[in-house]
Structure 1
Amino acid sequence: MSNLPSKARVVIIGGGVIGCSVAYHLTKKGWNDVVLLERKQLTSGTTWHAAGLIAQLRATKNMTKLAKYSQELYGTLEEETGVATGFKRVGSITVALTEERREEIYRQAAMARSFGVEVEEISNERVQELYPHINLDGIKGAVYLPLDGQGDPGNIAHALAKGARQRGALVRERIKVTEIVKDGRTVTGVNWASDDGSETGHIACDMVVNCAGMWGHEVGKMAGVNVPLQACEHFYIVTENIQGMTQLPVLRVPDEYAYYKEDAGKILLGAFEPESKPWAMEGIPDSFEFDQLQEDFDHFEPILEKAVERVPLLAEAGIHTFFNGPESFTPDDAYHLGLAPEMDNVWVAAGFNSIGIQSAGGAGMALADWMDSGEKPFDLGDVDISRMQPFQGNKQYLIERSKETLGLLYADHFPYRQKATARGVRRTPFHQHLLDQGAVMGELAGWERANWFANEGQDPAYEYTWKRQNWFENSAAEHRAIRENVGMYDMSSFGKIRVEGPDAQAFMNYIGGGDYAVDAGKIVYTQFLNRTGGIEADVTVTRLSETAYLVVTPAATRLADQTWMMRQKGNFNVVITDVTAGEGVLAVMGPNARKLLQAVSPATFTNDVNPFGTAQNIEIGMGLARAHRVTYVGELGWELYVSSDMAGHVFETLHEAGQDMGLKLCGMHMMDSARMEKGFRHFGHDITCEDHVVDAGLGFAVKVDKGSDFIGREAVIARKETGPQNRLVQFRLTDPEPMLYHNEPVLRDGEIVGYLSSGNYGHTLGGAMGLGYVPCAGEKAADVLASSYEIDVMGTRVKAEASLKPMYDPKSERVKV
């Protein structure tokens, strides 16, 4: 008899290391009505065959925080539960075989220091000392992280499960969830069946957590939520015992797609080959349990050939195991965590891209905190499931993208690198017009966006490097056009959310920090805040009528922002609708923007009629548009909203009229470099849910005295009284040569105090620019600026100027001319 309860606070679906971690951490929070259901046996999906590498350093501070937490947890689990986890700190070495990879790993080392991770760049001689079996041929640089570790994946999962049981969780194997029962946006329970079909039942529950691993996509469908992931084949070999083999650090040779792990006198050689093999495109067999996939030695052979040269003793060691097992991969190589946008009580922790063991502890902790408090414990935007667009659950899309994503784990992580597969899904109304003019497209949230424009005769493609890329001068010319004349670029991909109804004004004043009791046609720049004053969204809001507003959000966060708005709706009588695809948007920016618009429209664009921060309906060519006088590049300009059916005509009208004026088509790279000079914040980098709006220098956009309460008001008032705890500072390198991207350490008077949240090149100001937070509790602005600053670029400290006001046009005189 299964003896399953009829009701639970939460049902966790999936008994891999992730599900066990979620159960463990929820019970640590005091939840004792926790049920975990596993269709076969614990760890029988992908956990059991994981390599067990447990690295500390990830691509962002918070992901690194979670990885470090996992390490610390695994080091104490054995004492708590009596289950040996096999965790030990063996260190790890990453070697570079090209100058480009050397720059990448040295930049990663600098980033690690800013995150508090112990790291050192080491010589080839030191590599040989640490890993005597390596052939040093071709190695141009190496980085050593002494505290990286490895562990036994299966036992880690079982230890977490035992810890959960000890605190009251019910963990049951051979119970499959057959249906998730829903009522509107709420799950009410799950139906289950025993593995042999002899028993069935129902568990009513308050929440469900999808920890189903490579089954996560299908379980998501049962719950009515989108969980985009695809299983791929993942290969490794294990040697016979090697005489005299001692403990070694993990060795990574990403330029040869390989990693090496010593374990019990053997070597495990694993691969992240550049073109992977999707698996189970028609669905995972129902009988799958601790299964291995068919060997494909031809696919693995190129990696093995290089490995035998890199670690020659492999040529002498016999192969004990050639293993092929499935792992699940997401469209962007980041895992899925959080509350699903489509439902109000379905949570997700799945799609861990071969880093499930090192991520599980931290991911389980973060999700449990979120579920328990109802608020994210810190910024989880990198992995928040709401970043996934609905179309990304498309089966064919997932198959095509997965061929690339596994290999991207060990590919060169060049700045601005674009995905090559599954492209062209979302196109703006101007897509072909832009291609015809030499646009080189990037992709964001599925949208094809012109990032830069190739010159006649120039190959319209990226040539990646850590230095100035082949489009650097193209973007500089676009930048100059915006600053000195007039440029035009496509902003159609930005999210457009219409809020309409009799309570529209009251609703907006509740969810947003700005004052929305304005006349129709007025534009309000503002933030949506959480209870602690952190920034949930950075938006412009245009009042269209007495009962309607248009909220414009970044392209990547439209779904997240709309979902957040829906969850605050309560009893407000409003309708919230995504209208992004209904309008194309062209930004016309620069000192001659007014002149160009006056050439194609009978409307008046003077300050008297159309001042900064207002919108008006206009005729343009033979069509209609709505002209919003705002800017993200710090120049006079308008964003023109045009219904999609007339977008082509409006583009042609503007482009033709602009030829005599030197109008230049521009891309997203230009927009980013221009906003960086102006000190404009970028959501997801410079401002997140854990960055206080006052610390971010955006307190001016929050109106605490507008006459109505709003989310985060008390936190804003409190921080304005105490003063900022951190300040977002703008930096410019005094040496014009180095490039900045993000995460470079910031040194104040010789000590690391933070890192750059974003970076780009300031073509007008003549140097690389960055934004980064500097701790300043109890300090005045003048104290912050009195210090000397440097930015660590690949291990070299470069002097930087610092400013709290925009270095470009600090009084915004150019935008209001």
Structure 2
Amino acid sequence: MKELPTSARAVVIGGGIVGCSTAYHLAKLGWTDTVLLERKKLTSGTTFHAAGLVGQLRTSANITQLLGYSVDLYKRLEAETGLGTGWKMNGGLRLACNAERWTEVKRQATTAQSFGLEMHLLTPREAFDLWPLMTIDDLVGAAFLPTDGQANPSDITQALARGARMAGTTIFEDTEVLDLEIDKGRIRAVITGHGRTECERVVVCAGQWTRSFAARCGVNVPLVSVEHQYMVTEPFGVPSNLPTLRDPDRLTYYKEEVGGLVMGGYEPNPIPWAADGIPEDFHYTLLDSNFGHFEQIMEQALGRVPALETAGIKQLINGPESFTPDGNFILGEAPELKNFFVGAGFNAFGIASGGGAGMALAEWVHKGEPPFDLWPVDIRRFGRPHFDTDWVRTRTLEAYGKHYTLAFPHEEHQSGRPCRKSPLYDRLKAQGACFGEKLGWERPNWFADLSAGQQPKDVYSYGRQNWFDAVGREHKAVREAAVIFDQTSFAKFALKGRDAEAALTWIAANDIARPVGSLTYTQMLNDKGGIECDVTVSRVAEDEYYIVTGTGFATHDFDWIARNIPKDMHAELVDVTSAYSVLSLMGPHARSVLEKVTRSDLSNAAFPFASVRTIGIAGCPVRALRVTYVGELGYELHVPVEYAATVYDALMAAGHDHGLVNAGYRAIESCRLEKGYRAWGSDIGPDHTPVEAGLSWAVKTRKPVAFKGREAIERQLQNGVKKTLACFVTEDPDIVLLGRETIYRNGKRVGWLTSGGFGYTVGKPIGYGYVRDPEGVTEELVLSGTYELDVAMTRIPCRVSLGPLYDPGMKRIKV
């Protein structure tokens, strides 16, 4: 065995497809002294028993782009390396056997069109012509993606490994990583059974071993192992050009292999594996075939492919794979440890993702940031509940069981709940709250009218859902009276220290150097001007700021702020989320209600918009923020948790005569769409700048002070932009907008909706999306076009706006 180097620029741990892809791409970026370490042999973990289907379409444009990169890479890899990959671009079919599934498929076709991916809708007969082994009696239709395909996982991995070696990477098999040497929060070296290699960057692509290994370094990687089975038949004349086939209503998938079929599926009752740890010498190992458990999949498959009844079975492969709580894989730099990168948890589509995931990870290591917004797979989307492996396993098994079920809009997971509860949870539940969950928090989405016999339970569909009218009542109360939203789940941070102002001045795009008592809405930008965080910042002391952000962004935003505090500044960031409940009192009567329970002066002169005050309510100290996300007079009341119930009861009693009611997050969403407020993770993110998003007013370019991203913003202000966020409204009130619908301007595809919903005050569906033009986009261009939205492959006329549809000050509705 060749000698392990004493130092390397980066060490990749794990020799499956993702590890080899990462090493390959690092070498291509000039990291030629990269070392890849594999505890046994390349592909001996999960890769060797992967089924090898390669699909591309996802609900995120960037993840679709990432999977598309895999296809492009696999096309050229054999010519580059001289090793066969088994890559075959034979296309992919997806079947629909009922009306709801057909609606889902048509919406997927619109999504594909939005993202520039070719996808065709077929009749049952057209699908049969492509896949003549199947029965089509129950088919409503099908979709065909001609650029999908299949590959041999081990061959692709070996080709990537050869490509990495050709570019300078050194690969060591039979080299187990025993530990990392970490000094004062900094990686110093990798310790193996063959010696020590100094390095500063480690990339862990160790599949189902990643969680336990990372935990030894204090890094949380939420994944668990689940048994996954598929059957390989003897040859029986299957054409070699047969597309891959997914039959989600029957929970099954198929691909051709050497004249036979590979057939597997996702059963609703998956079997977890290695709950007490993976056996020590587990490699190139399969589990015992479980024919009894596979029988449910086999029955479904026989109904689709009758020839399977007489086909010989070569093997029933049972291999454990790593799955995650939300069905998305995990990429990125760990928030707990600098220069510790992760690529794991691929949910049985690691072959489809491997090329793109390795590219993205390598770019992340190389530049310190991903090549584009990868929030759906970013490791920082997880939080406190995900440290508990039992909770992760429970949620992951639910997600596995839903792999092929209908992905209804607004669908909530049910497992592992309730986990994190507001002090008001039981009170709100008794009043008809229907809860959703985010990052473990129970949050009221809407309230049922219990007196009318309405049940607080979501009934899912692709049309109007059962809560539509209930949310309309809450929306009306926001606009005409007053409501309380329990937003305790907000993430909340305290930034303290003598340099708090200087540090935040650098990190925040807006001007936070304002007097104590000021509140500032601001973005935090990357060097390209992209929006990394979207927060409110309250100055509560000369040396302290109180920062509030969305529930799901707790880990991400804390990490971004902490990493960007200049090293020479004295400022400490502390997560205080669990210390405060948040009761958001919103609506034109909000001041009248609040005046009944406090002696503090709430006049506009004493307590203007964008300010923060400490007030007393029923003996409780309350940090009141004058701010709104619904477009009405409003106060966020941040209350120490032990006082939350007392303050809530006082407000509800005082608000009775003013029409005060409870309201949930779906009413917040409806109101914010009307007012044109942006949502991070959909309308804005790292790929969008404030200039493009219509938020230039919130950037301190007029002030001669340095801040992160300033140069990029100034370039855009001077040179213009190539995309602009706009609002779209359809005249037909029955259209359901969800996001990802294609935007057409003058008959040409120019973008897609980033978010969509219904505005009850305007009485119409509302969507937001970027109008794009490589030659440049101006306000005049946006407003001069004739627009349509493609909704489930049907063109719907719409109107465009660059301003809010609703103005509470003038009670003006603009549609």
Q: Aligning the two structures, in what range does the TM-score lie when normalised by the shorter sequence?
A: over 0.9
Match status 1:583 vs 2:580: yes
What per-residue deviation string (whole Å, max 9, x for no partner) do you get for residues 590-611 of structure 1?
A: 1111111112122222111111
Q: How does 1:29-68 map to 2 (within 5 A)?
A: 29-68=29-68
Question: What's 1:804 paired with?
Answer: 802
Match status 1:315 vs 2:312: no
> What letter is aligned with 2:44?
S
Match status 1:717 vs 2:711: no
Q: Distance in 2 between matches of 1:415 and 1:488?
A: 25
Match status 1:179 vs 2:179: yes
Do the aligned partners of 1:181 and 1:223 also contact (CA within 8 Å) in 2?
no
What per-residue deviation string (whole Å, max 9, x for no partner) do you get for residues 79-116 of structure 1?
A: 11111001011111111122111111110001101111
Question: What's 1:10 paired with?
Answer: 10
Q: Distance in 2 between matches of 1:47 and 1:136?
A: 33
Match status 1:634 vs 2:631: yes
Taking structure 1 as reference, are residues 173 and 622 closer, same or farther at Cα in structure 2, changes over 3 Å only? same
Note the C-alpha offset of 1:810.
8.0
Question: What's 1:233 paired with?
Answer: 227
> What letter is aligned with 1:33?
D
Taking structure 1 as reference, are residues 168 and 778 closer, same or farther at Cα in structure 2, changes over 3 Å only? closer
Question: What's 1:132 paired with?
Answer: 132
Note the C-alpha offset of 1:318.
1.7
> What letter is aligned with 1:221?
A
- Aligned equivalent of 1:648, options 645, 648, 659: 645
Q: How does 1:261-272 map to 2 (within 5 A)?
A: 261-272=255-266
Question: What's 1:546 paired with?
Answer: 542
Q: Distance in 2 between matches of 1:364 and 1:153?
A: 15
Aligned with 1:608: secondary structure? coil
- Aligned equivalent of 1:212, options 181, 206, 209: 206
What per-residue deviation string (whole Å, max 9, x for no partner) do you get for residues 146-177 of structure 1?
A: 11110000000010011001111111111111
Match status 1:560 vs 2:556: yes
Q: Distance in 2 between matches of 1:257 and 1:124?
A: 18
Question: Where in structure 2 are there 5+ consecutive unaligned residues?
Answer: none
Q: Distance in 2 between matches of 1:296 and 1:451?
A: 41
Aligned with 2:136: secondary structure? coil
Aligned Cα root-mean-square deviation (Å) = 1.4
Aligned with 1:6: secondary structure? coil
Question: What's 2:790 paired with?
Answer: 792
Note the C-alpha offset of 1:402.
2.1
Do the aligned partners of 1:496 and 1:553 also contact (CA within 8 Å) in 2?
yes
Q: Distance in 2 between matches of 1:642 and 1:536?
A: 28
Match status 1:79 vs 2:50: no
Do the aligned partners of 2:787 and 2:798 also contact (CA within 8 Å) in 1?
yes
Aligned with 1:726: secondary structure? strand
Note the C-alpha offset of 1:712.
0.8
Question: What's 2:392 paired with?
Answer: 398
Question: What's 2:666 paired with?
Answer: 669
Question: What's 1:506 paired with?
Answer: 502
Note the C-alpha offset of 1:323.
1.3
**TM-score where L is the length of structure 2:** 0.98
> What letter is aligned with 1:256?
R
Q: Number of aligned pairs?
A: 809
State which drifts further: 367-376 or 484-493.
367-376
Do the aligned partners of 2:432 and 2:455 also contact (CA within 8 Å) in 1?
no
Aligned with 2:273: secondary structure? coil
Q: Distance in 2 between matches of 1:811 and 1:48?
A: 63
Aligned with 2:655: secondary structure? helix
State which drifts further: 451-460 or 125-134.
451-460
What per-residue deviation string (whole Å, max 9, x for no partner) do you get for residues 323-356 of structure 1?
A: 1111101111111111100011100111111110
Q: How does 1:269-308 map to 2 (within 5 A)?
A: 269-308=263-302
Note the C-alpha offset of 1:622.
2.6
Note the C-alpha offset of 1:814.
9.1
What per-residue deviation string (whole Å, max 9, x for no partner) do you get for residues 520-568 of structure 1?
A: 1111011101111110101110000111101111111121111111111
Do the aligned partners of 2:484 and 2:586 also contact (CA within 8 Å) in 1?
yes
What per-residue deviation string (whole Å, max 9, x for no partner) do you get for residues 493-521 of structure 1?
A: 11111111111111111111111121111
Question: What's 1:106 paired with?
Answer: 106
Note the C-alpha offset of 1:246.
4.2
Taking structure 1 as reference, are residues 240 and 778 closer, same or farther at Cα in structure 2, changes over 3 Å only? closer
Aligned with 1:600: secondary structure? coil
Match status 1:492 vs 2:488: yes
Taking structure 1 as reference, are residues 512 and 812 closer, same or farther at Cα in structure 2, changes over 3 Å only? farther
Q: How does 1:165-176 map to 2 (within 5 A)?
A: 165-176=165-176
- Aligned equivalent of 2:734, options 733, 737, 761: 737
> What letter is aligned with 2:242?
L
Question: What's 1:376 paired with?
Answer: 370
Taking structure 1 as reference, are residues 173 and 279 closer, same or farther at Cα in structure 2, changes over 3 Å only? same
- Aligned equivalent of 2:745, options 741, 748, 761: 748
Note the C-alpha offset of 1:189.
0.9
Note the C-alpha offset of 1:275.
2.4
Q: Distance in 2 between matches of 1:147 and 1:601?
A: 64
Aligned with 2:30: secondary structure? coil
Question: What's 2:724 paired with?
Answer: 727
Question: What's 2:416 paired with?
Answer: 422
Q: Distance in 1 between matches of 2:38 and 2:238?
A: 41
Aligned with 2:694: secondary structure? coil
- Aligned equivalent of 2:477, options 481, 493, 500: 481
Do the aligned partners of 1:538 and 1:683 also contact (CA within 8 Å) in 2?
yes
- Aligned equivalent of 1:462, options 455, 458, 473: 458
- Counting aligned pairs with the same residue, the percent is 44
Taking structure 1 as reference, are residues 289 and 778 closer, same or farther at Cα in structure 2, changes over 3 Å only? closer
What per-residue deviation string (whole Å, max 9, x for no partner) do you get for residues 269-326 of structure 1?
A: 1111122111100000111111111222222111211211111111111211111111
Match status 1:201 vs 2:204: no
State which drifts further: 398-407 or 694-703.
398-407
Question: What's 1:619 paired with?
Answer: 616
Note the C-alpha offset of 1:782.
2.2
Q: Distance in 1 between matches of 2:98 and 2:810?
A: 45
Do the aligned partners of 2:326 and 2:396 also contact (CA within 8 Å) in 1?
no
Do the aligned partners of 1:187 and 1:223 also contact (CA within 8 Å) in 2?
no
Taking structure 1 as reference, are residues 27 and 116 closer, same or farther at Cα in structure 2, changes over 3 Å only? same
Q: Distance in 2 between matches of 1:519 and 1:211?
A: 48
Aligned with 1:427: secondary structure? coil
Note the C-alpha offset of 1:778.
4.0
State which drifts further: 327-336 or 396-405.
396-405
Q: Distance in 1 between matches of 2:292 and 2:659?
A: 56
Aligned with 1:7: secondary structure? coil
Do the aligned partners of 1:500 and 1:549 also contact (CA within 8 Å) in 2?
yes
Q: Distance in 1 between matches of 2:776 and 2:38?
A: 52
> What letter is aligned with 1:799?
P
Q: Distance in 2 between matches of 1:379 and 1:219?
A: 27
Do the aligned partners of 1:686 and 1:771 also contact (CA within 8 Å) in 2?
yes
Question: Where in structure 1 are there 5+ consecutive unaligned residues?
Answer: 194-199
Q: Distance in 1 between matches of 2:397 and 2:357?
A: 26
Q: Distance in 1 between matches of 2:725 and 2:496?
A: 35
State which drifts further: 358-367 or 600-609.
600-609
Do the aligned partners of 1:615 and 1:626 also contact (CA within 8 Å) in 2?
yes
Aligned with 2:595: secondary structure? helix
Note the C-alpha offset of 1:779.
4.4
What per-residue deviation string (whole Å, max 9, x for no partner) do you get for residues 760-779 of structure 1?
A: 11111111111100025544
Note the C-alpha offset of 1:623.
1.6
Question: What's 2:694 paired with?
Answer: 697
Aligned with 1:3: secondary structure? coil
Aligned with 1:725: secondary structure? strand
Match status 1:604 vs 2:598: no
- Aligned equivalent of 2:431, options 411, 419, 437: 437
Q: Distance in 2 between matches of 1:22 and 1:749?
A: 42
Q: Distance in 2 between matches of 1:459 and 1:93?
A: 39
Q: Distance in 1 between matches of 2:790 and 2:27?
A: 42
**TM-score where L is the length of structure 1:** 0.97
Q: Distance in 2 between matches of 1:517 and 1:287?
A: 58
State which drifts further: 246-255 or 33-42.
246-255
> What letter is aligned with 2:229?
F
